[in-house]
Chain A
Amino acid sequence: MNTGIDVPQIQRYGALYIASARLKSMSKWKAIIAAVDIGNPLFYLIAVGVGIGVLVEKGSGTSGTNGIKYIAFIAPALLANSAIAGVMDETVFPTIEGFKWRKLFFAQNATPITGRQIALGVYLSALCRAIFSVSVYYLLLIAFNVVEFGSSILLIPIAVLGGGAFGAIILYAAAKIEKDDQFFNILGRLVIMPMFLFSGTFFPLSSMPIYLQPIGWISPLWHATELGREAAFDYGISNLMVAVHLTFLSTLVAIGITLSMRQFERRLAK
Protein backbone atom coordinates (compact mmCIF):
# COMPACT_ATOMS: atom_id res chain seq x y z
CA MET A 1 0.00 0.00 0.00
CA ASN A 2 1.22 3.42 -0.84
CA THR A 3 1.46 5.39 2.36
CA GLY A 4 1.47 8.75 0.59
CA ILE A 5 -2.24 8.64 -0.22
CA ASP A 6 -4.09 10.97 2.09
CA VAL A 7 -7.75 10.38 1.34
CA PRO A 8 -9.16 13.10 3.64
CA GLN A 9 -6.88 15.56 1.88
CA ILE A 10 -8.22 14.46 -1.51
CA GLN A 11 -11.76 14.72 -0.20
CA ARG A 12 -11.04 18.32 0.75
CA TYR A 13 -9.10 19.46 -2.30
CA GLY A 14 -10.12 17.08 -5.09
CA ALA A 15 -12.11 19.72 -6.94
CA LEU A 16 -9.03 21.92 -7.03
CA TYR A 17 -6.94 19.11 -8.53
CA ILE A 18 -9.52 18.82 -11.28
CA ALA A 19 -9.68 22.58 -11.77
CA SER A 20 -5.93 22.81 -12.06
CA ALA A 21 -5.87 20.00 -14.60
CA ARG A 22 -8.53 21.84 -16.58
CA LEU A 23 -6.56 25.08 -16.42
CA LYS A 24 -3.53 23.23 -17.69
CA SER A 25 -5.57 21.94 -20.63
CA MET A 26 -6.87 25.43 -21.29
CA SER A 27 -3.37 26.83 -21.26
CA LYS A 28 -2.67 24.71 -24.32
CA TRP A 29 -5.20 26.90 -26.10
CA LYS A 30 -3.95 30.15 -24.63
CA ALA A 31 -3.23 31.83 -27.97
CA ILE A 32 -6.75 31.19 -29.20
CA ILE A 33 -8.34 32.15 -25.89
CA ALA A 34 -6.39 35.41 -25.83
CA ALA A 35 -7.30 36.19 -29.44
CA VAL A 36 -11.00 35.61 -28.74
CA ASP A 37 -11.00 37.49 -25.44
CA ILE A 38 -9.21 40.52 -26.89
CA GLY A 39 -10.62 40.45 -30.41
CA ASN A 40 -14.26 40.13 -29.48
CA PRO A 41 -14.38 43.22 -27.23
CA LEU A 42 -12.42 45.20 -29.78
CA PHE A 43 -14.97 44.48 -32.51
CA TYR A 44 -17.85 45.50 -30.27
CA LEU A 45 -16.23 48.62 -28.94
CA ILE A 46 -15.33 49.80 -32.41
CA ALA A 47 -18.63 48.85 -34.05
CA VAL A 48 -20.82 50.26 -31.30
CA GLY A 49 -18.56 53.10 -30.23
CA VAL A 50 -18.10 54.68 -33.63
CA GLY A 51 -21.07 53.16 -35.46
CA ILE A 52 -24.32 52.18 -33.83
CA GLY A 53 -23.81 54.31 -30.74
CA VAL A 54 -23.42 57.47 -32.78
CA LEU A 55 -26.59 56.67 -34.71
CA VAL A 56 -28.58 55.93 -31.55
CA GLU A 57 -27.48 59.14 -29.90
CA LYS A 58 -28.25 61.13 -33.07
CA GLY A 59 -31.75 59.69 -32.95
CA SER A 60 -32.75 60.02 -29.32
CA GLY A 61 -29.79 61.44 -27.48
CA THR A 62 -29.21 59.67 -24.19
CA SER A 63 -32.74 60.03 -22.92
CA GLY A 64 -33.53 56.36 -23.50
CA THR A 65 -30.51 55.24 -21.52
CA ASN A 66 -30.88 57.35 -18.37
CA GLY A 67 -28.41 59.88 -19.66
CA ILE A 68 -25.63 57.39 -20.19
CA LYS A 69 -23.49 57.31 -23.31
CA TYR A 70 -24.80 54.46 -25.48
CA ILE A 71 -21.58 52.50 -25.55
CA ALA A 72 -21.30 52.81 -21.77
CA PHE A 73 -24.92 51.75 -21.41
CA ILE A 74 -24.36 48.48 -23.15
CA ALA A 75 -20.86 47.87 -21.73
CA PRO A 76 -22.02 46.00 -18.57
CA ALA A 77 -24.11 43.73 -20.78
CA LEU A 78 -21.21 43.04 -23.09
CA LEU A 79 -19.06 42.28 -20.11
CA ALA A 80 -21.55 39.87 -18.59
CA ASN A 81 -22.07 38.33 -21.98
CA SER A 82 -18.37 37.73 -22.33
CA ALA A 83 -18.37 35.99 -18.95
CA ILE A 84 -21.26 33.84 -20.10
CA ALA A 85 -19.49 32.93 -23.33
CA GLY A 86 -16.28 32.10 -21.48
CA VAL A 87 -18.00 29.93 -18.90
CA MET A 88 -19.97 28.20 -21.59
CA ASP A 89 -16.84 27.33 -23.56
CA GLU A 90 -15.23 25.82 -20.49
CA THR A 91 -18.20 23.87 -19.19
CA VAL A 92 -20.17 22.52 -22.14
CA PHE A 93 -17.27 21.35 -24.21
CA PRO A 94 -15.17 19.68 -21.48
CA THR A 95 -18.27 18.06 -20.01
CA ILE A 96 -19.45 16.41 -23.20
CA GLU A 97 -15.88 15.47 -23.94
CA GLY A 98 -15.33 14.12 -20.43
CA PHE A 99 -18.37 11.89 -20.49
CA LYS A 100 -18.51 10.95 -24.09
CA TRP A 101 -15.85 11.87 -26.58
CA ARG A 102 -12.72 11.13 -24.62
CA LYS A 103 -14.15 9.79 -21.38
CA LEU A 104 -11.61 11.65 -19.29
CA PHE A 105 -14.01 11.91 -16.37
CA PHE A 106 -14.06 8.14 -16.10
CA ALA A 107 -10.29 8.14 -15.72
CA GLN A 108 -10.44 10.85 -13.06
CA ASN A 109 -13.16 8.93 -11.26
CA ALA A 110 -10.97 5.81 -11.15
CA THR A 111 -8.91 7.61 -8.51
CA PRO A 112 -10.16 8.76 -5.10
CA ILE A 113 -11.68 11.77 -6.92
CA THR A 114 -15.50 11.77 -6.93
CA GLY A 115 -17.99 12.79 -9.58
CA ARG A 116 -19.08 15.70 -7.40
CA GLN A 117 -15.53 16.97 -7.26
CA ILE A 118 -15.17 16.67 -11.01
CA ALA A 119 -18.30 18.77 -11.53
CA LEU A 120 -17.08 21.40 -9.11
CA GLY A 121 -13.58 21.39 -10.57
CA VAL A 122 -14.84 21.93 -14.10
CA TYR A 123 -17.05 24.75 -12.83
CA LEU A 124 -14.26 26.47 -10.92
CA SER A 125 -11.92 26.35 -13.88
CA ALA A 126 -14.68 27.84 -16.06
CA LEU A 127 -15.01 30.68 -13.56
CA CYS A 128 -11.28 31.29 -13.89
CA ARG A 129 -11.73 31.61 -17.61
CA ALA A 130 -14.59 34.07 -17.04
CA ILE A 131 -12.45 36.13 -14.70
CA PHE A 132 -9.79 36.29 -17.38
CA SER A 133 -12.20 37.19 -20.19
CA VAL A 134 -13.95 39.84 -18.14
CA SER A 135 -10.76 41.40 -16.82
CA VAL A 136 -9.41 41.79 -20.33
CA TYR A 137 -12.70 43.32 -21.40
CA TYR A 138 -12.70 45.67 -18.45
CA LEU A 139 -9.19 46.89 -19.24
CA LEU A 140 -10.26 47.60 -22.79
CA LEU A 141 -13.29 49.52 -21.53
CA ILE A 142 -10.95 51.66 -19.46
CA ALA A 143 -8.57 52.06 -22.38
CA PHE A 144 -11.40 53.12 -24.68
CA ASN A 145 -12.59 55.48 -22.02
CA VAL A 146 -16.01 53.84 -21.88
CA VAL A 147 -16.04 53.59 -18.10
CA GLU A 148 -13.94 55.33 -15.50
CA PHE A 149 -11.76 53.38 -13.14
CA GLY A 150 -13.39 53.35 -9.70
CA SER A 151 -16.53 51.67 -8.46
CA SER A 152 -16.85 50.33 -12.00
CA ILE A 153 -14.31 47.69 -10.99
CA LEU A 154 -17.34 45.95 -9.48
CA LEU A 155 -18.34 45.18 -13.04
CA ILE A 156 -15.83 42.33 -12.96
CA PRO A 157 -17.29 40.29 -10.08
CA ILE A 158 -20.82 41.09 -11.23
CA ALA A 159 -20.17 39.84 -14.75
CA VAL A 160 -18.46 36.72 -13.37
CA LEU A 161 -21.46 36.09 -11.13
CA GLY A 162 -23.73 36.40 -14.17
CA GLY A 163 -21.54 33.99 -16.13
CA GLY A 164 -21.36 31.67 -13.15
CA ALA A 165 -25.14 31.59 -12.77
CA PHE A 166 -25.63 30.71 -16.39
CA GLY A 167 -22.68 28.31 -16.34
CA ALA A 168 -23.96 26.34 -13.36
CA ILE A 169 -27.20 25.58 -15.17
CA ILE A 170 -25.54 24.87 -18.48
CA LEU A 171 -23.06 22.54 -16.76
CA TYR A 172 -26.01 20.51 -15.56
CA ALA A 173 -27.57 20.47 -19.02
CA ALA A 174 -24.30 19.36 -20.62
CA ALA A 175 -23.95 16.54 -18.10
CA LYS A 176 -27.54 15.52 -18.61
CA ILE A 177 -27.70 15.24 -22.39
CA GLU A 178 -26.49 11.95 -23.82
CA LYS A 179 -27.15 12.74 -27.48
CA ASP A 180 -25.13 15.81 -28.23
CA ASP A 181 -25.80 16.14 -31.97
CA GLN A 182 -28.27 19.02 -31.74
CA PHE A 183 -27.22 20.39 -28.39
CA PHE A 184 -24.87 23.05 -29.67
CA ASN A 185 -27.34 24.25 -32.28
CA ILE A 186 -30.18 24.51 -29.82
CA LEU A 187 -27.99 26.16 -27.24
CA GLY A 188 -26.60 28.73 -29.64
CA ARG A 189 -29.75 29.60 -31.52
CA LEU A 190 -32.51 29.13 -29.01
CA VAL A 191 -30.78 30.09 -25.78
CA ILE A 192 -27.73 32.27 -26.26
CA MET A 193 -29.00 34.42 -29.11
CA PRO A 194 -32.44 35.30 -27.64
CA MET A 195 -30.83 35.86 -24.26
CA PHE A 196 -28.37 38.28 -25.78
CA LEU A 197 -31.07 40.17 -27.70
CA PHE A 198 -33.84 40.29 -25.09
CA SER A 199 -32.01 40.90 -21.81
CA GLY A 200 -32.05 44.67 -21.90
CA THR A 201 -28.69 44.51 -23.59
CA PHE A 202 -29.23 47.21 -26.21
CA PHE A 203 -32.11 49.09 -24.62
CA PRO A 204 -33.76 48.97 -21.19
CA LEU A 205 -35.89 45.89 -20.71
CA SER A 206 -38.84 48.10 -19.70
CA SER A 207 -38.95 49.60 -23.17
CA MET A 208 -39.76 46.19 -24.62
CA PRO A 209 -43.33 44.92 -24.94
CA ILE A 210 -44.40 43.34 -21.69
CA TYR A 211 -44.85 39.90 -23.22
CA LEU A 212 -41.15 39.81 -24.15
CA GLN A 213 -39.92 41.00 -20.78
CA PRO A 214 -40.09 37.58 -19.04
CA ILE A 215 -37.19 36.47 -21.22
CA GLY A 216 -35.15 39.10 -19.45
CA TRP A 217 -36.45 38.23 -15.99
CA ILE A 218 -35.21 34.67 -16.21
CA SER A 219 -32.02 35.65 -18.00
CA PRO A 220 -28.87 35.81 -15.88
CA LEU A 221 -27.60 38.29 -18.42
CA TRP A 222 -30.30 40.83 -17.59
CA HIS A 223 -29.77 40.54 -13.84
CA ALA A 224 -26.02 40.91 -14.20
CA THR A 225 -26.43 43.78 -16.63
CA GLU A 226 -28.72 45.73 -14.31
CA LEU A 227 -26.35 45.21 -11.39
CA GLY A 228 -23.44 46.25 -13.55
CA ARG A 229 -25.11 49.45 -14.68
CA GLU A 230 -25.88 50.35 -11.10
CA ALA A 231 -22.31 49.68 -10.03
CA ALA A 232 -20.71 51.54 -12.90
CA PHE A 233 -22.85 54.65 -13.12
CA ASP A 234 -25.59 54.94 -10.56
CA TYR A 235 -28.23 53.74 -12.93
CA GLY A 236 -30.88 54.44 -10.33
CA ILE A 237 -32.31 51.07 -9.45
CA SER A 238 -33.59 50.47 -5.94
CA ASN A 239 -31.73 48.58 -3.25
CA LEU A 240 -34.55 46.11 -3.31
CA MET A 241 -33.90 45.37 -6.97
CA VAL A 242 -30.18 45.05 -6.28
CA ALA A 243 -31.05 42.43 -3.68
CA VAL A 244 -33.40 40.70 -6.11
CA HIS A 245 -30.72 40.52 -8.80
CA LEU A 246 -28.09 39.21 -6.41
CA THR A 247 -30.46 36.66 -4.95
CA PHE A 248 -31.60 35.47 -8.34
CA LEU A 249 -28.05 34.96 -9.59
CA SER A 250 -26.80 33.27 -6.42
CA THR A 251 -29.81 30.99 -6.38
CA LEU A 252 -29.07 29.89 -9.93
CA VAL A 253 -25.48 29.16 -8.93
CA ALA A 254 -26.62 27.10 -5.96
CA ILE A 255 -29.26 25.16 -7.85
CA GLY A 256 -27.07 24.61 -10.89
CA ILE A 257 -24.11 23.37 -8.90
CA THR A 258 -26.22 21.09 -6.75
CA LEU A 259 -27.87 19.53 -9.78
CA SER A 260 -24.59 19.27 -11.67
CA MET A 261 -22.75 17.56 -8.85
CA ARG A 262 -25.53 15.04 -8.48
CA GLN A 263 -25.75 14.44 -12.21
CA PHE A 264 -22.00 13.93 -12.60
CA GLU A 265 -22.01 11.44 -9.75
CA ARG A 266 -24.96 9.53 -11.19
CA ARG A 267 -23.76 9.42 -14.72
CA LEU A 268 -20.31 8.21 -13.72
CA ALA A 269 -21.81 5.50 -11.51
CA LYS A 270 -23.97 4.00 -14.26
Chain B
Amino acid sequence: MSKPLISVRGLTKVFGDFTAVNGINFDVAKGESFGLLGPNGAGKSTTMRILAATSTRTSGTVEILDKDPEKFGPLVRAHLGIVPQEDNLDGELTVTENLFIYGRYFGLPKKFIKAKIEELLEFAQLEEKRDVKVQALSGGMKRRLTIARGLVSEPDILLLDEPTTGLDPQARHILWDRLFRLKEQGVTLVLTTHFMDEAEQLCDRLVVMDKGAIMAEGSPQGLIKQYSSKEVLEVRFGSDRNKEVAPQLSQMCERMETLPDRLLMYTEDGEKLLEQIAAAKLHPTTSLVRRSSLEDVFLRLTGRTLIE
Protein backbone atom coordinates (compact mmCIF):
# COMPACT_ATOMS: atom_id res chain seq x y z
CA MET B 1 0.00 0.00 0.00
CA SER B 2 1.26 3.49 -0.79
CA LYS B 3 1.86 5.95 2.00
CA PRO B 4 -1.37 7.29 3.49
CA LEU B 5 -2.36 10.88 2.75
CA ILE B 6 -3.38 11.43 6.34
CA SER B 7 -1.86 9.63 9.26
CA VAL B 8 -2.99 10.15 12.84
CA ARG B 9 -1.34 8.53 15.88
CA GLY B 10 -2.29 8.93 19.51
CA LEU B 11 -4.09 12.19 18.76
CA THR B 12 -5.29 13.87 21.93
CA LYS B 13 -6.94 17.21 22.49
CA VAL B 14 -7.62 18.57 25.93
CA PHE B 15 -9.68 21.68 26.69
CA GLY B 16 -8.90 22.75 30.25
CA ASP B 17 -9.44 19.53 32.17
CA PHE B 18 -11.75 17.99 29.60
CA THR B 19 -10.37 15.49 27.11
CA ALA B 20 -12.30 15.96 23.87
CA VAL B 21 -10.18 13.57 21.79
CA ASN B 22 -8.44 10.75 23.53
CA GLY B 23 -5.54 9.06 21.76
CA ILE B 24 -7.07 8.16 18.42
CA ASN B 25 -5.29 6.50 15.48
CA PHE B 26 -6.28 6.24 11.85
CA ASP B 27 -4.96 6.56 8.30
CA VAL B 28 -6.66 7.84 5.20
CA ALA B 29 -5.42 6.67 1.81
CA LYS B 30 -5.36 8.76 -1.34
CA GLY B 31 -8.69 8.79 -3.13
CA GLU B 32 -10.46 7.23 -0.20
CA SER B 33 -13.67 8.45 1.36
CA PHE B 34 -13.28 8.29 5.09
CA GLY B 35 -15.88 9.00 7.75
CA LEU B 36 -16.04 9.86 11.41
CA LEU B 37 -19.35 8.69 12.75
CA GLY B 38 -20.46 9.55 16.24
CA PRO B 39 -23.01 11.28 18.44
CA ASN B 40 -22.94 14.90 19.67
CA GLY B 41 -19.79 15.69 21.58
CA ALA B 42 -17.87 12.63 20.33
CA GLY B 43 -14.94 14.81 19.27
CA LYS B 44 -15.54 14.74 15.53
CA SER B 45 -15.29 18.47 14.93
CA THR B 46 -12.31 18.78 17.22
CA THR B 47 -10.54 16.09 15.19
CA MET B 48 -11.56 17.78 11.94
CA ARG B 49 -10.17 21.14 13.02
CA ILE B 50 -6.85 19.52 13.79
CA LEU B 51 -6.84 17.78 10.39
CA ALA B 52 -7.69 21.14 8.87
CA ALA B 53 -4.40 22.53 10.20
CA THR B 54 -6.29 25.24 12.03
CA SER B 55 -6.33 23.87 15.56
CA THR B 56 -3.40 22.65 17.61
CA ARG B 57 -3.29 19.27 19.33
CA THR B 58 -2.35 18.49 22.90
CA SER B 59 -0.36 15.38 22.03
CA GLY B 60 0.11 12.70 19.40
CA THR B 61 1.27 13.03 15.83
CA VAL B 62 -0.55 14.04 12.68
CA GLU B 63 0.83 13.95 9.17
CA ILE B 64 -1.05 15.31 6.20
CA LEU B 65 0.63 15.02 2.82
CA ASP B 66 3.82 14.13 4.71
CA LYS B 67 3.71 17.32 6.76
CA ASP B 68 2.89 18.19 10.32
CA PRO B 69 -0.10 20.55 9.99
CA GLU B 70 0.95 22.41 13.11
CA LYS B 71 4.33 23.32 11.65
CA PHE B 72 3.30 23.82 8.03
CA GLY B 73 -0.22 25.19 8.37
CA PRO B 74 -0.29 27.36 5.23
CA LEU B 75 1.39 24.71 3.08
CA VAL B 76 -1.02 22.02 4.25
CA ARG B 77 -4.10 24.22 3.98
CA ALA B 78 -3.17 25.06 0.41
CA HIS B 79 -4.19 21.47 -0.43
CA LEU B 80 -7.31 21.32 1.72
CA GLY B 81 -10.90 22.28 1.17
CA ILE B 82 -12.44 22.95 4.55
CA VAL B 83 -16.16 22.86 5.20
CA PRO B 84 -16.77 23.69 8.86
CA GLN B 85 -19.79 22.53 10.80
CA GLU B 86 -20.93 26.10 11.39
CA ASP B 87 -21.23 28.27 8.31
CA ASN B 88 -18.91 31.24 8.48
CA LEU B 89 -19.75 32.98 5.24
CA ASP B 90 -19.68 36.76 5.06
CA GLY B 91 -23.38 37.64 5.15
CA GLU B 92 -22.78 41.17 3.93
CA LEU B 93 -21.24 39.96 0.69
CA THR B 94 -23.01 38.31 -2.21
CA VAL B 95 -22.70 34.66 -3.15
CA THR B 96 -20.11 35.31 -5.85
CA GLU B 97 -18.22 37.82 -3.71
CA ASN B 98 -17.88 35.19 -1.00
CA LEU B 99 -16.44 32.70 -3.44
CA PHE B 100 -14.19 35.28 -5.03
CA ILE B 101 -12.68 36.60 -1.84
CA TYR B 102 -12.06 33.09 -0.55
CA GLY B 103 -10.26 32.20 -3.76
CA ARG B 104 -8.11 35.29 -3.37
CA TYR B 105 -6.96 34.04 0.03
CA PHE B 106 -5.41 31.13 -1.85
CA GLY B 107 -3.62 33.66 -4.01
CA LEU B 108 -5.42 32.35 -7.09
CA PRO B 109 -5.52 34.51 -10.23
CA LYS B 110 -8.72 36.49 -10.70
CA LYS B 111 -9.38 34.94 -14.06
CA PHE B 112 -9.15 31.44 -12.67
CA ILE B 113 -11.50 32.23 -9.80
CA LYS B 114 -14.06 33.86 -12.06
CA ALA B 115 -14.26 30.77 -14.23
CA LYS B 116 -14.32 28.54 -11.17
CA ILE B 117 -17.21 30.50 -9.68
CA GLU B 118 -19.45 29.60 -12.64
CA GLU B 119 -18.69 25.94 -12.11
CA LEU B 120 -19.33 26.16 -8.38
CA LEU B 121 -22.60 28.03 -8.75
CA GLU B 122 -23.79 25.16 -10.85
CA PHE B 123 -22.44 22.68 -8.32
CA ALA B 124 -24.30 24.37 -5.48
CA GLN B 125 -27.39 25.11 -7.59
CA LEU B 126 -27.11 28.76 -6.72
CA GLU B 127 -26.96 30.28 -10.21
CA GLU B 128 -30.08 32.30 -9.55
CA LYS B 129 -28.73 33.61 -6.28
CA ARG B 130 -25.36 34.67 -7.57
CA ASP B 131 -25.77 38.35 -6.76
CA VAL B 132 -27.84 37.92 -3.63
CA LYS B 133 -26.35 38.81 -0.28
CA VAL B 134 -25.59 35.67 1.69
CA GLN B 135 -27.62 36.81 4.68
CA ALA B 136 -30.70 36.50 2.47
CA LEU B 137 -30.07 32.81 1.66
CA SER B 138 -31.87 29.93 3.32
CA GLY B 139 -29.95 27.69 5.70
CA GLY B 140 -29.62 24.93 3.14
CA MET B 141 -28.39 27.36 0.48
CA LYS B 142 -25.74 28.68 2.85
CA ARG B 143 -24.66 25.14 3.52
CA ARG B 144 -24.31 24.44 -0.19
CA LEU B 145 -22.37 27.64 -0.66
CA THR B 146 -20.03 26.76 2.19
CA ILE B 147 -19.32 23.43 0.51
CA ALA B 148 -18.80 25.11 -2.85
CA ARG B 149 -16.46 27.60 -1.24
CA GLY B 150 -14.31 24.74 0.04
CA LEU B 151 -13.81 23.68 -3.58
CA VAL B 152 -12.60 27.01 -4.98
CA SER B 153 -8.99 25.97 -4.68
CA GLU B 154 -9.45 22.52 -6.24
CA PRO B 155 -8.29 20.78 -3.08
CA ASP B 156 -6.68 17.34 -2.91
CA ILE B 157 -8.45 16.62 0.34
CA LEU B 158 -11.95 17.82 1.17
CA LEU B 159 -12.80 17.95 4.88
CA LEU B 160 -16.53 18.07 5.45
CA ASP B 161 -17.90 18.51 8.96
CA GLU B 162 -21.53 17.40 8.83
CA PRO B 163 -21.97 18.42 5.21
CA THR B 164 -25.66 17.68 4.91
CA THR B 165 -27.00 18.91 8.23
CA GLY B 166 -29.77 21.33 7.39
CA LEU B 167 -30.26 20.13 3.82
CA ASP B 168 -33.58 18.80 2.61
CA PRO B 169 -33.61 15.16 1.43
CA GLN B 170 -33.39 16.09 -2.22
CA ALA B 171 -30.45 18.43 -1.69
CA ARG B 172 -28.77 15.76 0.40
CA HIS B 173 -29.01 13.21 -2.36
CA ILE B 174 -27.74 15.68 -4.93
CA LEU B 175 -24.83 16.50 -2.68
CA TRP B 176 -24.00 12.83 -2.17
CA ASP B 177 -23.95 12.46 -5.90
CA ARG B 178 -21.62 15.46 -6.34
CA LEU B 179 -19.30 14.25 -3.62
CA PHE B 180 -19.23 10.90 -5.30
CA ARG B 181 -18.17 12.56 -8.53
CA LEU B 182 -15.41 14.46 -6.76
CA LYS B 183 -14.18 11.19 -5.36
CA GLU B 184 -14.10 9.74 -8.86
CA GLN B 185 -11.91 12.66 -9.86
CA GLY B 186 -9.44 11.56 -7.21
CA VAL B 187 -10.34 13.92 -4.39
CA THR B 188 -9.89 12.38 -0.96
CA LEU B 189 -12.91 12.92 1.27
CA VAL B 190 -12.96 13.05 5.04
CA LEU B 191 -16.35 13.67 6.53
CA THR B 192 -18.19 13.57 9.80
CA THR B 193 -21.80 12.73 10.18
CA HIS B 194 -24.30 11.36 12.59
CA PHE B 195 -26.48 10.07 9.82
CA MET B 196 -25.84 6.40 9.37
CA ASP B 197 -27.35 6.33 5.88
CA GLU B 198 -24.94 9.05 4.86
CA ALA B 199 -22.00 7.15 6.26
CA GLU B 200 -23.16 3.99 4.46
CA GLN B 201 -23.62 5.84 1.20
CA LEU B 202 -20.49 7.93 1.18
CA CYS B 203 -17.77 6.21 3.15
CA ASP B 204 -15.43 3.51 1.95
CA ARG B 205 -14.24 3.22 5.48
CA LEU B 206 -15.18 4.82 8.75
CA VAL B 207 -14.45 5.00 12.42
CA VAL B 208 -17.15 5.02 15.06
CA MET B 209 -16.29 7.62 17.69
CA ASP B 210 -17.72 8.11 21.13
CA LYS B 211 -16.48 10.28 23.98
CA GLY B 212 -13.27 11.12 22.21
CA ALA B 213 -12.29 7.55 21.45
CA ILE B 214 -12.56 5.28 18.43
CA MET B 215 -14.83 2.33 19.17
CA ALA B 216 -14.46 0.50 15.88
CA GLU B 217 -13.10 0.87 12.39
CA GLY B 218 -13.97 -0.69 9.07
CA SER B 219 -16.13 -0.47 5.97
CA PRO B 220 -19.83 0.13 6.62
CA GLN B 221 -20.70 -3.40 5.52
CA GLY B 222 -17.75 -4.90 7.38
CA LEU B 223 -18.75 -3.18 10.61
CA ILE B 224 -22.33 -4.31 10.29
CA LYS B 225 -21.20 -7.84 9.68
CA GLN B 226 -18.81 -7.77 12.57
CA TYR B 227 -20.99 -6.13 15.16
CA SER B 228 -24.54 -6.98 14.21
CA SER B 229 -26.70 -9.74 12.81
CA LYS B 230 -28.09 -9.76 9.30
CA GLU B 231 -31.57 -8.62 10.27
CA VAL B 232 -33.24 -6.75 13.05
CA LEU B 233 -36.77 -7.24 14.29
CA GLU B 234 -38.18 -4.17 15.97
CA VAL B 235 -41.18 -4.83 18.18
CA ARG B 236 -43.30 -2.59 20.38
CA PHE B 237 -45.63 -3.69 23.08
CA GLY B 238 -46.39 -0.31 24.57
CA SER B 239 -43.98 1.31 26.95
CA ASP B 240 -45.08 -0.59 30.08
CA ARG B 241 -45.28 -4.05 28.59
CA ASN B 242 -41.90 -3.74 26.80
CA LYS B 243 -40.05 -4.37 30.05
CA GLU B 244 -42.32 -7.19 31.09
CA VAL B 245 -41.82 -9.28 27.98
CA ALA B 246 -38.17 -8.43 27.51
CA PRO B 247 -36.70 -11.34 29.52
CA GLN B 248 -38.77 -13.85 27.63
CA LEU B 249 -37.99 -12.38 24.24
CA SER B 250 -34.28 -12.13 24.85
CA GLN B 251 -34.20 -15.95 25.04
CA MET B 252 -35.48 -16.13 21.47
CA CYS B 253 -32.73 -14.16 19.65
CA GLU B 254 -28.95 -13.76 19.47
CA ARG B 255 -28.99 -10.40 21.18
CA MET B 256 -31.53 -7.82 22.20
CA GLU B 257 -31.46 -4.09 22.92
CA THR B 258 -34.17 -2.53 25.05
CA LEU B 259 -34.93 1.03 24.04
CA PRO B 260 -37.46 3.20 25.85
CA ASP B 261 -40.10 2.76 23.15
CA ARG B 262 -39.16 -0.50 21.45
CA LEU B 263 -37.18 -3.71 21.56
CA LEU B 264 -34.54 -4.52 18.95
CA MET B 265 -34.04 -8.22 18.37
CA TYR B 266 -30.95 -9.28 16.40
CA THR B 267 -31.36 -12.36 14.26
CA GLU B 268 -30.48 -13.88 10.89
CA ASP B 269 -34.15 -14.23 9.96
CA GLY B 270 -36.58 -11.61 11.23
CA GLU B 271 -39.74 -13.13 9.80
CA LYS B 272 -39.09 -16.46 11.40
CA LEU B 273 -38.48 -14.79 14.74
CA LEU B 274 -41.73 -12.91 14.43
CA GLU B 275 -43.57 -16.18 13.89
CA GLN B 276 -41.97 -17.59 17.01
CA ILE B 277 -43.14 -14.59 18.97
CA ALA B 278 -46.67 -15.03 17.70
CA ALA B 279 -46.50 -18.73 18.57
CA ALA B 280 -45.54 -17.78 22.10
CA LYS B 281 -48.76 -15.78 22.25
CA LEU B 282 -46.95 -12.51 22.64
CA HIS B 283 -48.63 -9.98 20.42
CA PRO B 284 -46.61 -6.84 19.70
CA THR B 285 -48.64 -3.76 18.79
CA THR B 286 -46.27 -3.07 15.93
CA SER B 287 -43.38 -4.95 14.38
CA LEU B 288 -40.85 -4.29 11.67
CA VAL B 289 -38.17 -6.42 10.07
CA ARG B 290 -35.21 -4.56 8.60
CA ARG B 291 -31.57 -5.01 7.67
CA SER B 292 -28.95 -4.16 10.25
CA SER B 293 -27.44 -0.71 9.92
CA LEU B 294 -24.62 1.29 11.40
CA GLU B 295 -27.10 2.50 13.97
CA ASP B 296 -27.16 -1.03 15.34
CA VAL B 297 -23.38 -1.19 15.30
CA PHE B 298 -23.29 1.98 17.30
CA LEU B 299 -25.86 0.74 19.75
CA ARG B 300 -23.90 -2.43 20.25
CA LEU B 301 -20.64 -0.59 20.79
CA THR B 302 -21.86 2.14 23.08
CA GLY B 303 -25.19 1.00 24.43
CA ARG B 304 -26.65 4.23 23.12
CA THR B 305 -28.47 5.36 20.02
CA LEU B 306 -26.71 7.65 17.59
CA ILE B 307 -29.39 10.26 17.39
CA GLU B 308 -30.93 10.88 20.77
Contacts and interface: CB of A to CB of B under 8 A. Distances in A.
Physical interaction between A and B: yes
A24 B73 CA distance: 26
B109 A102 contact: no
A106 B78 contact: no
A179 B110 CA distance: 39
Interface in A80-121: 102-104, 106-114
B153 A5 contact: yes
A10 B106 contact: yes
A181 to B, nearest CB: 21
Given A4-B112, A102-B88, A103-B86, A111 B106 contact: yes
Interface string A154-193: 0000000000000000000000000000000000000000
Contact of A25 (B73, B77, B92, B106): B92
B102 A111 contact: yes
A17 interface: yes
B106 A268 contact: no
A50 interface: no
Interface residues of B, number: 36
A106 to B, nearest CB: 5
Given A2-B153, A10-B106, A110 B92 contact: no
A196 B109 CA distance: 46
B74 A11 contact: yes
A261 to B, nearest CB: 14
Contacts of A106: 54, 84, 88
B136 interface: no
Interface in B63-109: 73-75, 77-80, 82, 84, 86, 88-93, 101-102, 104-109
Contacts of A103: 86, 88
Interface in B149-190: 149-150, 153-156
B250 interface: no
B107 A6 contact: yes
Nearest to A270: B55
A21 interface: yes
A7 B72 CA distance: 11
B47 to A, nearest CB: 14
Q: Which of A6, A104, A110, A113 has the most CB of B within 10 A?
A: A110
Given A1-B79, A102-B91, A114 B154 contact: no
Interface in A1-52: 1-2, 4-7, 9-11, 13-14, 17, 21, 24-25, 28
Nearest to B55: A269
B89 A107 contact: yes
A255 to B, nearest CB: 24
Contacts of A25: 90, 92-93
Given A104-B88, A106-B88, A21 B101 contact: yes
B75 A7 contact: yes
Contacts of A2: 106, 108, 153-155
Q: Which of B74, B78, B90, B107 has the most CB of A within 10 A?
A: B107
A107 B102 contact: yes
Given A1-B154, A1-B156, A110 B77 contact: yes
Given A2-B154, A6-B107, A10-B107, A112 B74 contact: yes
B107 A5 contact: yes
Interface of B: 15, 52, 54-56, 73-75, 77-80, 82, 84, 86, 88-93, 101-102, 104-109, 112, 149-150, 153-156
Q: Which 4 A-B pairs have the closest CB atoms?
A: A111-B105, A112-B74, A2-B154, A110-B82
Interface of A: 1-2, 4-7, 9-11, 13-14, 17, 21, 24-25, 28, 102-104, 106-114, 268-270
19 contacts: A1-B156, A4-B109, A5-B108, A5-B153, A6-B107, A7-B107, A17-B104, A103-B86, A103-B88, A107-B88, A107-B102, A110-B80, A110-B150, A112-B75, A112-B78, A112-B107, A114-B74, A269-B56, A270-B56
